[in-house]
Every structure is written in C-alpha cells, then in structure tokens.
Amino acid sequence: MDAPVISAQKRKEILEALRRGTVPRRGLDELAVGLNGFETTVDEMLDHVETGNAAFKAIRGDYGCGKTFFSRWIQERAKQRNFAAAEVQISETETPLHRLETVYRRLIERLNLSGTREGAFREVIDSWFYSLEEDVIAAGATSENDLLVETDKLMEKRLGEVARTAPAFSAVLRAYRRALAEGDTETAEGLIAWLGGQPNVSAKVKRVAGVKGEIDHKSALTFLQGLLMVLRDSGNGGLVLVLDEVETLQRARSDVRDKSLNALRQLLDELDSGRFPGLMLVITGTPIFFDGPQGVKKSQPLAQRLATEFQPDNRFDNPRAPQIRLMPFKHESLVEVGRKVRNIFVSGLADGERVSAKVDDSVISSLASGIAGRLGGEVGLAPRIFLKKLVSELLDVVELHKDFNPLEHYQPVITGEELNDAERSAIGAVSPDEIQLDL
C-alpha cells in the first residue's frame, strides 16, 4: 500500500502521541478504522448546528473501544468545517461537572480552531472585533473615535439577549477593546482572563470594567451563550464541546454525584430549549455509567433523556439515537490500524520500503495477537499498548538499526508500569514485573 500524503508536522504529532500511548490531537482521519457508519450522522449533526441549532450525542464504550479517539475525530471533522472545539475531562477534584464555572474555565483554556492549538479564546475575541470593525467601516465610519464608538454600538446590538441577562459579558468586552486601543496590554490581558473564568484577577482590573467577584455557576451558562454568539458572528460554524470520562461521577460522593447528574440534565434541557444555538455537546462514558445503579439511572429525568435500546447485533444500531455504541476492537481492526500507522511512519523516510518489508503485515498481526493474548484475550484492551510498541519498539528500531530483524532480535515485553488499571486487571499484573509475549 502506498504511503499516505501527510505533512511532516502532522506525521510527527501522530507518532509522538502513539509513542506516549495517547490519542493524537490531529490526523485522526489517517488512523480511523470502522467509523464509516458514523460519518453521515456526524455530518448531519454539524449541518444542524451550523444553521443555528444545538445537538447532543452520548458516546458509550468500554475501555479501549476508542471513545476519546472518536470524540477527537468528531472535533477534527468539525474544525475542517470552521467550527471551534474544546475537550474537557471531567474529574471529581479538577473539573467537577456540578461546578459549571469550572467546566466553562476548562472549555476556554482548551478552546481551539482549525490550525490553532488550545487557548484560542483571545484569538476568537480579537477576530470578532475585527469583523465588527469591518462592518462599521463598510457603513461609513471615518475617524478612529467614530470607529470605536460605532463598534461599541454594534457590539451591544449583536450581544442582544446575552447583554440583557449578563451585562458583565458585554461590559468586559467593551473595556477590553478600549484597553487595547489605549495600549494598556496588562489590563487587556487581565480582562480577557476574567472573561475566560480565570480566578485571582486583580480588583483594579475588574474595576475598569465595573465588575466584581468571579464567574459563578449561573453566569457560566450565560457566558457560554456569549461565546457562541461571538463564534457565529465571526463566521465560525459553531462549537463542539466534549465532556470526556463522565463515568468518573460514579466515584464521587453521593451528594456531588447527584449535583453533577442534575447539572448534566440541566445542560440537556437548555440545549432543547434553544438557549445554546451553535453548540454540539458530546459526552463519553462507559456502559456501566449509562446502565448501572450509580450512574445515569440515579437521575430519572436524565435517564429518560438518554434512554437507548441496543439489540445484540450492533449492525443494526441507530447512530441517530441519543447514545452511540462503540464496540471493542477485533484482531482484524487492530491489524488494519497497525498498517495505517506503519504507512504513516514510512511516509517520511527515504528508505521506507526497507522498514515496511521488515515490519510487514505478518509481524504486525503477530504483535497484535501477542498483546491481546496476554491481556486475557481481550483485543479491545490492546490498541494503546499495541500501537505504542509498534512505533517505539519496532518501527523506530528498524529505522535506526539496519541490521535489526524483528523476527530474530525482538521479544516484546509488557511491564506493569506501562499499564493502566483496566489493562493491569486483564493481565493479572499487580507489580511492574516483566511479562514476555510471543511474536
């Protein structure tokens, strides 16, 4: 198979992520296996959001089924259509779901656009002001003062309902723009930090905009409305917000869990009410979170909204239902993604044919079988470790050492140190002892 056409930077990002055992942030179309059945539904949802509506999808699957990969694939697909995206990992201590002001802050920190890394919030705001100024100039503004005044007026008009329910949002935007016009960079940075939900912004900076305190649970939702309006007004298709690993709610104290489930229910209700035009909300979780006694079922209203019946044969799943079910990898799927990774690897090499010949399909298949076999035969748990070893212990070494032959010189080993809890449980490992695999 011919090596794919891929930029050197994207190739490097993909391979570096796989060496660390993590999901790449970009280039996921190059690695995707078995997602063809979801493309139409995801595109339909993005079409719906792009026309000023909201959408929701819950992604369920056991560990290793590719929930994080799938959610990032959705984000990348959305960014190709000029959407913004943000991925927030839910955590009892770092980002509790019942503290929506914290979720909002993490969203802003991780906001990104096509061609940008995380932290694109200020770029979004500056782009919005630029588009407003272009409209004002087109309407006939002639002096710098006219431009400032008329842009303020247009800003207030565009903010509309958000400005009426959360005047602080427009007040801070106005003060931020004036600080930039006056060359007061320190104040401008403080104001944009406050607008992004950051704590510990000085009282002096906040006085410039006439605001006090910090963004709270209630105002976080209103500020999210403001962000969506700014994105639409800047020509973006909308925002894809992923709340990853919501199953961690099951481990929280009962009162925290109940509050978090209620916050999720509130978000879904607000989506249905039309409060968040331009928002596609995606959550990921394990089946036990959706079906078990300590998860969604603890909140009957939420369970009703997410209820999805699955038949034994996943071929007949409905991807338009509230929940999408991801199935565990099979051996053939693992080998297919392994071939894709090998082809990406050799795409940047002058002697790629040599590397491909030594790490051929039979070697990839043997490595997949060996790792899955040692993980209790559970192929679904194997992708992360399999791809990490394929890149760092086979492809890298074959490239660097021309006399290295995997069939003669490589004995794959799994150590307890490189396993997560799910993998360690499957392998029966309780210590970092080395476990040899057959190749």
d(CA 222, CA 231): 14
How far CA 223 is from CA of 96, 158, 168, 215, in Å, comes to 18, 14, 9, 9
Q: Which of 154-158, 259-263, 420-424 has the lowest mean pLDDT?
A: 420-424
d(CA 209, CA 422): 49
Task: Give the confidence band of 385 by pLDDT, cuts at 50, 70, 90.
Answer: confident
Q: Look-up: residue for tokens 């913004």?
A: 84
Cα within 13 Å of Cα(395), Cβ side: 29
How many helices and strands (H and E) does the chain possess?
21, 7
Residue 348 burial (C-beta neighbours within 10 Å; 0-12, 13-18, 19+): middle
d(CA 395, CA 358): 9
> SS3 of 86, please?
strand
The DSSP result for 307-374, as a single string, is -----SSGGG--TTSSEEEPPPPPHHHHHHHHHHHHHHHHTT-TTHHHHHHHS-HHHHHHHHHHHHHH
- For the stretch 137-190, pLDDT in tens is 888 877 777 788 888 888 888 887 777 777 888 899 989 988 998 999 999 999
Q: What is the CATH number of domain 32-113+236-325?
A: 3.40.50.300
Token code pair at residue 60: 């369920």
Quick one: what percent of the chain has pLDDT higher than 70? 90
d(CA 56, CA 270): 11
Contact 277, 232 (CB under 8 A): yes
- For the stretch 225-241, pLDDT in tens is 999 999 998 889 999 99
The pLDDT value recorded for residue 431 is 43
**Of 383, 387, 389, which is closest to residue 435 (Cα–Cα)?**
389
Residues 6+ apart with CB under 8 A from 59: 67, 70, 71, 282, 283, 284, 285, 323, 324, 326
Q: What is the rounded average pLDDT for all residues in the chain?
A: 87
How far CA 145 is from CA of 134, 148, 208, in Å, comes to 15, 5, 19
Task: Give the confidence band of 129 by pLDDT, cuts at 50, 70, 90.
Answer: confident
Q: Which of 21-25, 111-115, 380-384, 385-389 has the lowest mean pLDDT?
A: 380-384
In this structure, the strands spanning 279-285 and 323-325 are unpaired
The pLDDT value recorded for residue 329 is 80
Q: Which of 207-216, 274-283, 413-422, 429-438 has the lowest mean pLDDT?
A: 429-438
Token code pair at residue 295: 């998860």
d(CA 90, CA 247): 8
Q: What is the pTM of this model?
A: 0.86
How far CA 372 is from CA of 11, 22, 342, 414, 429, in Å, comes to 26, 18, 19, 11, 14
Using alpha carbons only, how large is the chain's radius of gyration in Å?
Answer: 25
In the chain, where the domains are located: 32-113+236-325, 122-219, 331-436
d(CA 321, CA 264): 18
Quick one: what percent of the chain has pLDDT higher than 90? 59
